[in-house]
Amino acid sequence: MTGINNNIEYQIKIYNESTYTVGSTDNVNSYDKIYFGDNAREYPTSKHGVSIIQNGEIINKCLIVGSGGSTTIHENSSVRYKNQLLICCCNSVFCISLPNLELEWVKVFDSATCFQIFEHNDSFIVHGETQISKIDSNGNLNWEFGGEDIFVSIDNQEEFKIVEDGIILCDFANTIYKIDFDGKLVQSKNEKRKS
């Protein structure tokens, strides 16, 4: 990802820090700014680093630490919006200001894991394990939707897909849901598993 600060372009690098131990002097990287989600000081599950790079040099970095279901960094685990970076980490979404990497807010949006986040019309849709949420840039919840089972598939079925007029979801029981962008159920059907 890239951004511009005072007409100077910078890069944003987001990465897993699974071997980082808070308080240890043996870590590969060091951080002046460490932000914790709920219960993450006592039960750290996933750790993700963020670096701001300008002219090939790291000018700022922070670490976020979450608790709950484990997460990793991938294409849709974060989204840049104006001067904010929203990152899924365990059961929470962290909002960090750019480029100074100050924590604006951190909130829990799933009882287990927040897998992905997408920008949609100046709001954000969070694909969680147990629910789908729509939030605003201040972390306020607009709506949430839960199915009969978790939104995870073992049959290589796509669990979450944004389409022109809504969101298609598939849960662990192979129930397919379509919801609109107000979080209302439009349709659902159960697809039998092939044996």
pLDDT per residue as tens digits for the range 163-178: 999 999 999 999 999 9
Residue 89 lies in a domain: yes
Domain count of the fold of the chain: 1
Residue 145 lies in a domain: no
Question: What pTM was estimated for this model as a whole?
Answer: 0.91
Residue 156 lies in a domain: no
Residue 163 lies in a domain: no
Residue 36 lies in a domain: yes
Long-range pairs of 138-142 with CB within 8 A, sequence gap ≥ 24: 138/105, 139/93, 139/95, 139/104, 139/105, 139/106, 139/107, 141/109, 142/183
- 129 pLDDT above the threshold of 60: yes
Range of the domain at 12: 2-109
At residue 6 the predicted structure's pLDDT band, cuts being 50, 70 and 90, is low
Residue 67 lies in a domain: yes
Closest CA to 181 of 147, 113, 132: 132
Residue of higher predicted confidence among 118 and 7: 118
pLDDT in tens, 148-166: 999 998 787 889 999 999 9
Residue 185 lies in a domain: no
Residue 194 lies in a domain: no
